Amino acid sequence: MARQAELLQGTLDLLILRTLELEPLHGVGIADRIEQVTRGVFVVGPGSLFPSLHRLAEQGWVEGQWGELESGRRAKFYTLTRAGRAQLAQEKRNWRRVFTAMNRVLGEEA
């Protein structure tokens, strides 16, 4: 069984914002997409996902609207706001800086 990585809050925010950049999704869809794209390295449970979504909404970076799933059940679909797109751009710059610094520490120049 592969060891699951623990997510730092900022990393989870970045993953959510990037996922919503592509298309609006409901909570389970966001978690599924993150797990799929990271090939199972990041598995985001509801106890982490929904507080993060609420925090991102409070910041004005995502908006949620109720909609209907294919099964007929209601779910909140989240979209990235204009402010969220700007924040995502900032988060990407910050991540690249951290990535480069960590590679230097590990002796793997980027």
Structural domain that includes position 38: 9-104
- Asked whether residue 34 is domain-assigned, the answer is yes
Which is higher by pLDDT, 97 or 1? 97
In a domain, residue 58? The reply is yes
75, two tokens: 């779910």
> What is the number of domains present in the chain?
1
pLDDT tens, position by position, 10-23: 789 999 999 999 99
CATH number of the domain that 60 lies in? 1.10.10.10
Percent of the chain with pLDDT over 90: 78
Q: In this structure, is residue 69 part of a structural domain?
A: yes
Q: How far is CA 105 from the centre of its chain?
A: 26
Q: Is residue 109 part of a domain?
A: no
- pLDDT band at 7; cut points 50, 70, 90: low
Edge-to-edge strand order for the sheet containing 25-26?
25-26, 74-80, 62-68
> Is 88 inside any structural domain?
yes
| Domain assignment of residue 42, yes or no | yes
Q: In this structure, how many other beta carbons lie within 10 angstroms of the beta carbon of residue 41?
A: 13
Whether residue 76 is contained in a domain is answered as: yes
Span 39-87, pLDDT tens digits:
998 999 999 999 999 999 999 999 999 999 889 999 999 999 999 999 9
